[in-house]
Amino acid sequence: MHPTVRRALLWSVAVLALVGVLAVLSAVREPSRSAPGASAPRLSGTGLDGATHDLADIRGTVVLVNFWASWCAPCREETEVLVLAGERYADDGLAVIGVNSQDRPRYARRAAAAWGADAYPNLLDEDGRLAVAWGVVGLPETFVLGPDRTIVERHKGAVTEQWIDDTVVPLLAEAGAS
Amino acid sequence: MSSWTVRIIVGAAGLVATLGLWATATAPNPDADSDVREVAATLRCPTCVAESAADSTAPLAAGMRASIDEQLRAGRTPEEIRGWFVERYGEQVLLEPPRHGIGMLLWILPLVLAPLVTWAVLRGRAGPRTSAVILAAASAAMLAGIAGTAWLVAGRQDGARPANTQVARPVDVLQEAAADSPGDVRVRAALAHALDATGRVADAAEQYRAAVRLAPLDDNLVYRAAFALSRIDRAEEAAALLEPLVARTPDHAEAVLLLGTLRHDTGDPRAGELLRRFIELAPDHPAAEQARIMLADGVAP
């Protein structure tokens, strides 16, 4: 092969490889509105109990926003953890709000009553619009909001008592100390 | 004409005009769905493998379409809506590289590199004049391709579609509707029913399964999916659908019977309990006698 041709081809491959790497890096960039550090998107609407609920009205220094559905088996497992945490740390400023997403209201009500999720407010998100606005990919997913309602942490999958101890309790202590 | 007659006529005209405006404002806009689909087709469904938000039956894709619809109604442009999704899901939500920044390079570079490489390859063999001609020809071909694509896209956006003069069959209409609204469980169920009615049980089973993905706790839908599967010898899949159904709704007589029958066919001793329960639930059901016969077969423990 002629040296000029080879050089041209090599340069082309090198440029394409560089562009490819940059494209991959740009594609995996974290979203800006649903990532830790961002202000929590708005969250309001009708609840499973028929009342209107709004995140802005939720008291609590730390708020857990939990997206779940009655058809999601891990959601059932984590509900007990959330209910317990809500009860145990209520005086420390923890509030829990659920968003029942991509579900039928009657199934959601049945599940909430059976699992104990009716211990805290739950918004109905039948068509999944709220989940999309929060950048949720799969259920369950839980967001931790700080006192200024910015997203401090997001957890994909079922939360555990260990996660509450490691993530939520220190935040409550920090908020209580300040 | 008396003043009262005039008032009544003016009042009636006002009422008709108001009703007309209200009807126009609330009438479903036939273009709205296609606008939603057009934007959704450019977005990746984050929970799917290589499926757009327009084509996916995943619940999240339905949420994305609902959100697009809401934003279009609020007057946001498709580009603004795509930006809104990028803020929440990152740029990987876009099915095509963005036409700015590094994404723009991905569009432009192949167009620049292809003629250059052609030129570089041929320069050594042909004279400088010939290679310049080749470079010009390659560039012109690229530009013609781009212009042609742009013209085709513009034509598509004008909504130029051939008129359908034939009377469509229900299955075809429903298939189109399902393609347009893949997240609509009622359309899926209707399509499955229509396919079933025309004897396309395997296709019906697939549609029922898609509908069940959208509404996994709809007992009747799950039962129909299982019934279709059982008729195409996919008994194991049918039983897997029925087991949770029967557990959560133990009085769903048809589901109890079908699961009992499937278990009876495989010699599973648990069939007896189900068949007895079915007879208790629906003693006058046309299939009750058949259930008694199966019980007499000796499957009961």
What pLDDT, on the 0 to 100 scale, is given for residue B85?
95
Looking at chain A, which residue has its C-alpha nearest residue B81?
Answer: A133
**Rounded alpha-carbon distances, angstroms, from residue A166 to A35, A80, A146, A169, B300:** 19, 17, 15, 7, 53
Query: What's the pLDDT score for residue B158?
Result: 42
Using a CB–CB cutoff of 8 Å, tell me whether B111 touches chain A.
no
Query: Residue A60 phi/psi, 5° resolution?
Result: 135, 140
**Tokens in use for B295?**
């019980």
Q: For residue A140, what pLDDT is reported?
A: 96
pLDDT at B2: 61
**Are B142 and B114 a contacting pair, CB within 8 Å?**
yes
The residue behind tokens 């742009």 is B150
Which of the four pLDDT bands, split at 50, 70 and 90, describes residue B160?
Answer: very low
Cα separation, A36 vs A44, in Å, equals: 20
pLDDT beneath 70, residues of chain A: 1, 22-30, 178
Q: In this complex, do B60 and A137 lie within 8 Å of one another by their Cβ atoms?
A: yes
Range in A50-54, B5-9, B183-187, B205-209 the model is least confident about: B5-9
The whole-chain average pLDDT of chain B stands at 79
Q: What is the pLDDT of residues B47-93, one digit of tens each?
A: 888 889 988 878 899 899 999 999 999 999 999 999 999 999 998 89
What does the pLDDT read at residue B159?
40
Stronger pLDDT, B43 or B146, i.e. the higher one: B43
> B residues 123-142 near A, CB within 8 Å?
123-124
Complex confidence, ipTM: 0.81
Q: Angle at CA B83, nearest 5°, toward B77 and B85? A: 110
d(CA B179, CA B54): 9
On whether any CB of chain A is under 8 Å from the CB of B70, the answer is yes
Q: pLDDT over 90 for what percent of chain B?
A: 36
* Spatial CB neighbours of B133, under 8 Å, sequence gap ≥ 6: none
* For residues B108-126, average pLDDT: 68
- Taking only the tens place, the pLDDT of each residue in B256-272 is 999 998 998 888 889 99
More confident position, A51 or B175:
A51
**Predicted pLDDT at B166:** 41
- Any bridge partners for residue B78, and if so which? none
Alpha helices in B74-100 (DSSP H): 78-89
In total, the C-beta contacts within 8 angstroms joining chain A to chain B are: 103
pLDDT of residue A1: 63
Question: With the CA atoms of A66, A67, A72 and A73 taken in that order, what torsion angle do they form, in degrees rounded to the nearest 10?
Answer: -10
B89: nearest CA partner in chain A: A31
Of the listed ranges A130-139, B38-47, B144-153, the one predicted with least confidence: B144-153
A172 vs chain B: nearest CA distance in angstroms? Answer: 27
Residue that wins the pLDDT comparison between A88 and B182: A88
On whether the CB atoms of residues B45 and B51 are closer than 8 A, the answer is: yes
Buried b (16+ CB within 10 A) or exposed e, B135-170: beebbeeeeeeeeeeeeeeeeeeeeeeeeeeeeeee
Q: What is the CA radius of gyration of chain A?
A: 22
Least confident stretch, A140-144, B15-19, B294-298:
B15-19
Chain B residue with CA closest to A72: the answer is: B216
Cβ contacts of residue B218 below 8 Å, gap of 6+? Answer: A104, B185, B211, B212
Would you state the pLDDT for residue A149?
94
DSSP conformational letter for A71 = T
User: Least CA distance to B112: which residue of chain A?
Assistant: A12
CA distances A97 to A48, A49, A79, A116, B110, Å, are 12, 13, 11, 13, 50
Please tell me the distance from the alpha carbon of residue B52 to that of residue B60, in angstroms, as a whole number. Answer: 11
pTM of the model: 0.55
In one letter, which amino acid is A46? Answer: T
Average pLDDT over residues B16-27: 58
Q: Which residues of chain A neighbour B213 with C-beta distances below 8 Å?
A: none
Backbone angles phi and psi of A61, in degrees to 5: -75, -30
Which residue would you say has higher pLDDT here, A35 or B130?
A: A35
Q: Which residue has the tokens 């659920």?
A: A98
For the four alpha carbons of A99, A128, B221 and B227, in that order, the dihedral sign comes to negative
* B:26-55 residues touching chain A, CB 8 A cutoff: 46-47
Peptide bond before residue A140 is cis, with ω within 30 degrees of 0: yes
> Percent of chain B scored above 70 by pLDDT?
69
Per-residue pLDDT tens over the stretch B201-245: 888 999 999 999 999 999 999 999 999 998 888 999 999 999 999
Q: Which residues of B touch A132 (CB under 8 A)?
A: 60, 63-64, 66-67, 85, 88
